[in-house]
Structure 1
Amino acid sequence: MKTTCKIIAAVFALWSVSVTAYASDEWQNLFNGEDLSGWTVVKGGKYFDENSLDEESIYSVHDGSMRVYHGAPDGSVQYKALITHEKQLSGNFHLQVEYRWREGRYIPRSESKRDAGILFHVHSRNNQIWPSCLEMQLGDGQPGERNVAGDLWVSGKTLADVSSRDGFFNPDAPSEARGHGMRRFNLTRRRSEKPLGEWNTADIIVYGSARAEFYLNGKLVNEVRNMRKRVSSGAWAPLAGGRIALQAEWAEIEYRVVRVREL
């Protein structure tokens, strides 16, 4: 009986450690709360006018948080942008991002659901607005709508396996390949995002090229396995690492934590 209790306790501890915060000295902060050291911004050039913020202002730091589109007039025309960290992450790691939506929405999506994303295993050039990578979608839509926090996107020269039924993540469903081009995704069935203005915690637990799990506010919302990339020979090779990036897609969002921990 004692042995059984110990096993149950150990399993529970392992599950808990994957989605809860660790002591601060075990984390490496990728955002220091003071400036954007280590980060590079690239912007798209399709939508802009005299009210559009430039690279220096699309992402900015205020009161210890990274603000996206801070100060842009609501309903104005803005660039899409991407901010990428210089650090190469590989192996087994836990990436944690705390974010909240703010009010602003911008043309061409001033009437759309809010949209952003956490990109990882970015393996293409640093100046691409749509890099080759995997993405945990951030958005305030309902399951099945456009832009739902927890959806998976597989972009560019990337391929991965998902358990999917009718396009939705289902751990008991057969495995299917997704990727090698844009608009290849696996939807979450859960809406786990908090109301507008409240802080959310997104956790991406990565096990090299074998598996990545998405958690939102402590709930498992998606999973991807067997991640791979197309190399110069045209073959598919394991995708076990890369950079991370945060999207700006015409909705005001704020990040106060971006940190990583090796597992």
Structure 2
Amino acid sequence: MKFITLVILAATTIALASCSVVDEQRNGRYQLSDKWLPLLDKELSKWEVWMGVPHASVKGLPYGTYTTNNMNVHGQPERAMGLNNDVKKVFEVIEERGNPVLKISGEVYGGLTTKASYGNYHLTMEVKWGQKKWEPRLDKKRDSGVLFHCQGAHGAFWRAWKACQEMQIQESDFGDYIPLAGPSGVIQTATEKPLPNNNKYDPDGKYKHIISGYSHASSEPDLPNGQWNKVDIYAVDDKAVFVVNGVLVMAIEDSKGANGLPLTFGQLQIQSEGAEVYYRDINIKRINKLPMISTTPLQLTRPPKGFTANIPATEFINRQNQQFPLSDQQNVGNWTLRTDLTDEFNESEINTQRWFPNNPYWKGRQPTYFDNSNVSFKEGEAIFRVNQHGDLPLPEGYTHSAGFLKSKQRVLYGYFESEAKLMDAPWVSGFWLTMVEKDWWTEIDIAENCPCVDGQRQTINSNVHVFRAPADKGNVKKHFSKPKKYVYPKELQNEYHVWGLEWTPDFIRFYIDGYMFREIINTHWHQALAINLNNESNKWFNAIPDDNRLDQEYRVKYVRVWQKPE
């Protein structure tokens, strides 16, 4: 009888816990859609701040504030500075190019905590280190962390953070896994026996171990200090994966809370832990399944097979003015801006003097149909999206729509430049020149990239085409091209980049961020060409539409054209 009673009590406990989870989901604590939800604004309106116990070295605290030299103490969270009592302004928002950036001083341990709880999501952000470090970590690695599935009271771990799962953000240790204050998870390793606080995730490992302490990521693809790193957490049910700069470094399954029940949702926390650190572009959206992501970092010591060269990270040019091409800020080339071809996209509508609102000559490569509903103008940018056509029926063979702008004028030779942020979705972002005539058809691809596709996050594609040419222009009857691939030192989709093309009767030069990465002799490209901006699917780049990622944008700040006086 006692056994039956215990079983009933256990079942009742589990049922009540399950109901609690359902209630959490029903009461609006987290409501995500398949569109990105920005979590960061200048008011930190979606967050609350918990400040832990300051180190004894911290100055300028209110009289009576409890401090200690021993930070690694559990219990007595009432000794912490507490909720929304950030008198040292450890967490503050600054602006970068008009966008919010979270600055964490690190002086006092604490956690910036979302007011809402979330489950089944893709969380993405960028992070880089500042300069300052504080006691007790002056002689240790810079440290922070992204905590997820946080539940229970504040201050459960070291009086600073909730019980949770942690994606470690630490110098040379991005993506390590640490359960805090009781939770656990299972990871795959190459070792038959678990190694306390020293397990390492191995995507090819034969063994699985329950982890309640520290575990290392499979690789460390974080970038040097001062550079922005992209980090992602994909969490579905009781599973999660950590991705650092496009590389999957940790996979967790069978996540459980301190009570032994499945841990599938919770608040988010971003740690202050003794180091100055910056976070930006913090966004979250709903997902229903975990993605397939490579676990192999791209090695940059030499060009991978099939690549022409690595682009050095130290050769980019800082812009001094907007008058001249980025690669020629002193205007040694004697360039004159063509104002009739240049567009800064400062208006809220298309400039019909410069652009066709679509491509009048090409409806798109299946399955992508070009429709002008996918191009909008706001915040000084042309924005290309997908599937904005609403109820408009698409022609047979087309399943998705995308955007296109084509210049009404054609140009022969000059310097062409655009600053743009590529789509972080399986769609090619394009900035290119072409013209199709009866007996003459050539093309120059300035930017034609799809960094979201596995293995292409740092890939720059460069190409020129001749599809046909008349007898006096090369007599080409069969298409040929000259494709090259280059390795960029960071993921391309994370930031805006300046794409440039210098096109003369003698040579064609390709630039990114002011650095010339390719030069070819101009043997066939003497046809006046139109300027194109577009996004599209493209099987040649494995850019196949993904309905879980329809909310991304290709954003173009400007198109500028210079020519030399005749």
Same fold (TM over 0.5): yes
* Deviation of the 1:189 alpha carbon: 3.3
Q: Deviations over 1:86-120 (max 9, x none)?
A: 11101x21001111111111111112111000000
CA contact (8 A) 2:154 2:161 kept: no
* More displaced 10-residue stretch of structure 1: 212-221 or 43-52: 43-52
CA contact (8 A) 2:148 2:164 kept: yes
Q: Which amino acid aligns with 2:257?
A: K
Q: Which amino acid aligns with 2:247?
A: K
1:75 alignment partner in structure 2: none
Mapping of residues 1-263 of structure 1, within 5 Å: 26-32=35-41, 34-48=42-56, 49-51=58-60, 55-56=86-87, 57-63=89-95, 64-69=100-105, 78-90=107-119, 92-128=120-156, 129-141=160-172, 148-165=173-190, 167-173=199-205, 174-179=207-212, 184-209=213-238, 211-231=239-259, 236-263=260-287
Q: Which amino acid aligns with 1:253?
A: V
Structure 1 35/68 Cα, relative in aligned 2: closer, same or farther at 3 Å?
same
* Deviation of the 1:230 alpha carbon: 3.2
SS in 2 for 1:35: coil
1:145 alignment partner in structure 2: none
State the superposition RMSD in angstroms. Answer: 1.9
CA contact (8 A) 1:84 1:126 kept: no
CA contact (8 A) 1:100 1:197 kept: yes
Aligned counterparts of 1:192 and 1:52: Cα–Cα separation in 2: 38
Aligned counterparts of 1:229 and 1:165: Cα–Cα separation in 2: 25
Aligned counterparts of 1:176 and 1:203: Cα–Cα separation in 2: 23
Q: Which amino acid aligns with 2:253?
A: R
* Deviation of the 1:172 alpha carbon: 2.6
Q: Which amino acid aligns with 2:52?
A: G
* Deviation of the 1:257 alpha carbon: 1.7
* Deviation of the 1:52 alpha carbon: 6.4
Aligned counterparts of 1:219 and 1:159: Cα–Cα separation in 2: 23
Structure 1 175/38 Cα, relative in aligned 2: closer, same or farther at 3 Å?
same
Q: Percent identity?
A: 25
Aligned counterparts of 2:258 and 2:283: Cα–Cα separation in 1: 28
Higher-strand-fraction structure? 1
SS in 1 for 2:111: strand
TM-score (norm 2): 0.37
Q: Which amino acid aligns with 1:69?
A: S
Aligned counterparts of 1:218 and 1:93: Cα–Cα separation in 2: 17
TM-score (norm 1): 0.77
* Deviation of the 1:164 alpha carbon: 2.2
Q: Which amino acid aligns with 1:115?
A: D
- List 4+ stretches of structure 1 deviating above 2 A: 51-54
CA contact (8 A) 1:52 1:79 kept: no
Aligned counterparts of 2:237 and 2:125: Cα–Cα separation in 1: 19
Structure 1 216/50 Cα, relative in aligned 2: closer, same or farther at 3 Å?
same
Aligned counterparts of 1:244 and 1:68: Cα–Cα separation in 2: 16
